[in-house]
Amino acid sequence: MRIVSRAILQDFAALHADAKGHLDAWWHFTKRADWASPQAIKNEWPKASIVADNRVVFDIVGGKYRLVVKFNYPYRMGYIRFIGTHAEYDKIDVTKI
């Protein structure tokens, strides 16, 4: 998968050092993945939450942070739509970001 943009994750990790290792691991795992559907993600990342409009929510650092990625499965692309604390995540409408 190609993920747009790693800089978002790096910027977040610069502010939240405890997330750096988790985000790096997520990035490296995901860039080697070949997910053609939401079910393919669930098969490899069982705790991921599939939501509307091809969005997937990943728990980072055991759910302390949330990462929302919108996938274009035919093109094997993922677009980071949100990364933030669990409290910040609770304030957004994940289906609209």
What local confidence, expressed as pLDDT, does residue 53 receive? 92
What local confidence, expressed as pLDDT, does residue 96 receive? 87
- Tens digit of pLDDT for each residue in 34-67? 999 999 999 999 999 999 999 999 999 999 999 9
Q: Any idea which residue has 């609770």 for tokens? A: 90
Q: Tell me the average pLDDT of the chain.
A: 96
Band the pLDDT of 5: cuts 50, 70, 90: confident
Find the radius of gyration of the CA atoms of the chain: 12
Domains within the chain, CATH numbers bracketed: 2-89 (3.30.2310)
The two tokens of residue 50 are: 């599939």
> Distance (Å, rounded) from C-alpha 79 to C-alpha 2?
9
Kindly tell me if the per-residue pLDDT of 17 is higher than 90.
yes
What local confidence, expressed as pLDDT, does residue 24 receive? 96
Q: What pTM does this model have?
A: 0.94
> Distance (Å, rounded) from C-alpha 63 to C-alpha 38?
20
